[in-house]
Structure 1
Amino acid sequence: MAQHIKSVVPDHPASVAVLKHALAVLLNMFFIIAFTVVVALFTGKVREVVSLMAAFAFLRQMTGGVHLKSGMGCVLVSVLLFTVLSYVEFNHVWTTGATVVSMFLILLYAPAGIENQTRIPPRYFPLLKVAALIVVGCNFWFVNPVTAAGFLAQSLSLISLRRWRTS
């Protein structure tokens, strides 16, 4: 697809490699949303899934997180994650606990792995952390278990497993 775009618009400043990356990101996002919503239509959890995807994606833009090696792996894991989390039924205590744990993980690890993924200068990364803490902290007001689960899943993705491996 990138080759075709470049052949149609050869003077465009983006290289084929840049176009391939942009297309991969867009296609992954499209397939994650489409497949997750289709599954949610069958499970009757559309509202929950849409809430989860929105909370997860919004927080991920501010905090970063682990990236899988393959696009297909990302799609499969994301669809499975959102589908499973759509069944979460935390009570008030568990929702509050998940929110607290999410905030703690953000405080410790955010932002993670966004250095080469954003145009935001590193000097603003502490502001991203504060914004993420405020966003997650809003769940103390709403006490939404599905949102808490999405925030917790995203916050857990900030932890680098490489940090815990011994060589």
Structure 2
Amino acid sequence: MIEPLSLRMAQHIKSVVPDHPASVPVLQHALAILLNMVFITGLTLVISVFTGRTREVVTIMAAFAFLRQMTGGIHLKSGMGCVAVSTMLFTGLSFISLDHNWTIGATLISMLLILVFAPAGIERQTRIPPRYFPLLKVAALITVGLNLWFALPYVAISFFAQTLLLINGGRWKTL
């Protein structure tokens, strides 16, 4: 659904502005990323209103997205697969309640996973030169490490879920 929709939108943009420097495939890719984000955010927020977990879901999505920019991780082949998996993940995580010890434990494990695996699979996903990847790892470690001080359970579970997606260099079998 996302890919055909983004293609139609890109073709329409190109027909309205034929001199635009971006090609239809480039526009399609950018629109697919945008639509993916909009569908994940919108669907997850709608579900969270019904579950009464909106604050938790917003915290989880923000923490996940922020850390993901620094660490990378698995990418699914299908936009709708990504929407479905991400929506279920964020909604499911909002129902997990960690006490202080589990929060600290999840944070420490996340830091270890970052130390070993980050960044993973971002070579073709970012414009940041590879020579800066060690800085991304340090920034991610600091970001996650701050939760040792704040001990926010939903941030810890979000960071933990994101860092699990780093294992195997972000090259898991994708849907």
TM-score under structure 1 normalisation?
A: 0.95
Residues in 2 aligned to 1:56 and 1:117: alpha-carbon distance in whole angstroms: 17
Query: Using the alignment, how far apart are the partners of 1:63 and 1:75 within structure 2?
Result: 20
The answer for the alignment partner of 2:42 in structure 1 is 34
Q: 1:17 aligns with which of 6, 20, 25?
A: 25
Please show how residues 13-92 of structure 1 align to structure 2 within 5 Å: 13-92=21-100
Alignment CA distance shift 1:97-1:113 (3 Å)? same
- Equivalent position SS for 1:138: helix
5-14 vs 147-156, greater mean Cα deviation: 5-14
Matches of 1:69 and 1:55 in 2, distance apart?
23
For 1:129, give the aligned amino acid.
K
Structure 2: give runs of 5+ residues left out of the alignment. 1-8
What is the letter of the counterpart of residue 114 of structure 1?
Answer: I
Counterpart of 2:5 in structure 1 is none
Q: Retained in 1: the 8 A contact 2:74–2:170?
A: no
Q: Go from structure 1 to structure 2 and tell me whether the alpha carbon gap of 1:121 and 1:149 turns closer, same or farther (over 3 Å shift).
A: same
Distance in 2 (CA, whole Å) between partners of 1:120 and 1:161 is 17
d(CA) in 2 for partners of 1:2 and 1:111? 31
Q: Deviations over 1:113-145 (max 9, x none)?
A: 111111110000000000000000010111011
Residue 160 of structure 1 and its aligned partner are, at CA, apart by 2.2
Q: Deviations over 1:37-83 (max 9, x none)?
A: 00000000000000000000000000000001100000000000000
- The runs of 4+ residues in structure 1 deviating greater than 2 Å are 160-165
Give the structure-2-normalised TM-score: 0.91
Letter in 1 for 2:83: V
What is the aligned partner in structure 1 of residue 119 from structure 2?
Answer: 111
Q: Would you say the 8 A contact 1:66–1:160 is kept in 2?
A: no
Take 1:57 and 1:2, find their aligned partners in 2: how far apart are those partners? 25
- Count residues in correspondence: 165
Q: Residue 127 of structure 1 corresponds to which residue in structure 2?
A: 135
Which segments of 5 or more consecutive residues in structure 1 lack a partner in the other structure? none
Give the partner amino acid of 2:133. Answer: F
Contact (CA 8 Å) 1:39, 1:83: kept in 2 or not?
yes
Evaluate the alpha carbon distance shift between residue 164 and residue 17 of structure 1 in structure 2; reply closer, same or farther with a 3 A threshold.
closer
* Residue of structure 2 in register with 1:142 after alignment: 150
